[in-house]
Amino acid sequence: MADVALSKSGSSMRGLLSARRGRNRLDVSDWLTYGFLVLGLLIMFTPVAWVVLSSFKTQANLQEFPPSILPYSSETAMVGGFDQPLPLFDVTLKDGTKARLAQIRRVGRNAQMIDPENPGAGRVTVAVTDAVAVRKVRLATENYTNLVASSGQAMGRYVYNSLFITTVATIITLVMNSMAAFALSKYRFAGSSVALISILSTLMIPATVVLVPTYLIVAELGLVGNLWGVILPTVATPTGVFLLRQYMLTIPDELIEAARMDHASEWRIFWRIVLPLSSPALAVVAIFSILSRWNDFLLPLIVLNRREVYTLQLALNSFQSEFEIRYDLLLAMTTLTALPLACAFIFLQRYITVGVASTGIK
């Protein structure tokens, strides 16, 4: 691929870009491709980056319009005679000189200021238009520390609940679905197509549509307010069975016959031969299971009715309704909730592409 162009091209940048085409210039389709991808990059990524950046802004900074790109905070100074630190302003005085003053209070279009270096000089009245707040770039990490402090132990609890549900549900999903997929791909038996259809038909049933009856069943099992009440209804995913079955169909039956000759039990064949061979498909099912369990909202909202069993998503939602305009905490919480998956994603995204490609969605 990189056999030409790099040496020929004068400018290294153009050489880099055109190296793969084996020519010295990019053709129209390349320009269109890069244009589309860069536009996509902007639209896909800036919103998330913006929220993360905003989560480091102070409350005052968040309420500004138009919003500043970087997180700023106003500088303040302690002035003798005042309990609170006062915000600093660069002021153009009436005689044209500039000074750095501290604002005591604002009345209409005028502000009362005082010189922080020399409080004895008395108060000055300044028009608001003549004063510019003194600001510097600063990450307001107190959004995060406040968040953890205000929720106390609860935050750890939410993280634990989310992790527990995600891990346990994913493991059960993988074992259960691969068992079913094994039965449906490696055996011929009466009723196999009925079983396959009844499993796949559940793909058609929107979770919201069967919400009331699902709640009823969970309640009858005595699992309301219990993490297992969220785990059990979601473990048998039809897509998982389908993906795994399609993949297992490609595993040659001779392998299984050979193992039977050696008197391996069916379970041993499943666990020691078929399962390891299906690992790419298992990885895909695992990733999608982790994603949907971690992000699930509606079922936990209904089943997990006590604060102690809240997941991160529920906590995030209750944050939004409890503190109406506490955007500083809300944005920090949003970032925290999305963070673990973002990290996992960096490691896993290669497997997603490769895995989906090899699981035979055709």
Partner 1 sequence: MGIRARLAAIAGGIILLPARLAEPLMAGLQKILGIKRMPWVFLLPNLLAVMLFSLLPVAINVFYSVTGSDRLYPSERPFVGVVNYETLFDCTNYLDASTCSSDLFWRALANSLVFVPVQVTFMIGIALVAAVCLNREIRGRGFFRAIFFFPVMLSPVVVALTWQWILQRNGALNGVLTWLGVSPVNWLVFPNTAFFWSVFVTVWAHMGFYTIILLAGLQSIPRDVYEAAKMDSATNWRVFTRITLPLLKPVLLVVFVLCVIRSVQTFDELYVLTGGGPGSATMLIVQYIYEVGFAVQPRNFGLAAAASLLLGVVLLIFTGLQLRLSRNSQNG
Number of helical (H) and strand (E) elements in the chain, helices listed first? 16, 8
How many Cβ atoms are within 10 Å of 121's Cβ, its own excluded?
A: 9
Using CA atoms, how far residue 262 sits from 139, 258, 268, 269, in Å, is 65, 7, 11, 10
Does position 63 bind partner 1 by CB under 8 A? yes
Contact flags string 296-325 toward partner 1, x per CB under 8 A: -xx---x----------x--xx--x-----
CB of 209 to partner 1, least distance (A): 4
| CA dihedral of residues 7, 9, 13, 15 (deg, nearest 10) | -60
- Mark the segment that binds partner 1 (CB under 8 A) among 82-90, 148-156, 247-255, 329-337: 329-337
Segment 67 to 86, residues that bind partner 1, using CB under 8 A: 67
Structure letter (DSSP) for residue 107:
E
Nearest-angstrom CA–CA distance, 149 and 360: 49
| Nearest alpha-carbon partner for 11 in 20, 2, 24, 1 | 24
**Number of residues in contact with partner 1, rule: CB under 8 A?**
100
Of 15-23, 86-94, 127-135, 144-152, the segment contacting partner 1 by CB under 8 A is 15-23
The residues in 239-268 that bind partner 1, with binding defined as CB under 8 A, are 241, 265-268
Is residue 203 at the binding interface for partner 1, with CB under 8 A as the rule?
yes
The answer to the question of residue 215 lying near partner 1 (CB under 8 A) is: yes
Choose between 89 and 270: whose C-beta lies nearer to partner 1: 270
Backbone angles phi, psi at 169, to 5 degrees: -60, -40
Phi, psi of 146 (to 5 degrees): -60, -40
Residue 41 binds partner 1, judged by CB under 8 A: yes
| Of positions 198, 250, 279, 305, contacts partner 1 by CB under 8 A | 198
Under rule CB under 8 A, residue 356 binds partner 1? yes
- Residue 280: asked if its preceding bond is cis (omega within 30°), the reply is no
Tokens standing for residue 234: 């979601």
Residue 221 amino acid letter: L
Residue 24 touching partner 1 (CB under 8 A): no
Considering only residues 334-353, where is the footprint of partner 1 by CB under 8 A? 334, 337-338, 341-342, 344-346, 349-350, 352-353
204 belongs to the binding site for partner 1 (CB under 8 A) = yes
Q: Does 330 bind partner 1 (CB under 8 A)?
A: yes
Which residues within the stretch 279-298 sit at the binding site for partner 1 (CB under 8 A)? Answer: 291, 294-295, 297-298
Q: Are 54 and 44 in contact (CB under 8 A)?
A: no
Judged by CB under 8 A, the residue of 139, 210, 251, 273 near partner 1 is 210
- Cα 291 to Cα 295, 341, 355: the distances in Å are 6, 8, 15
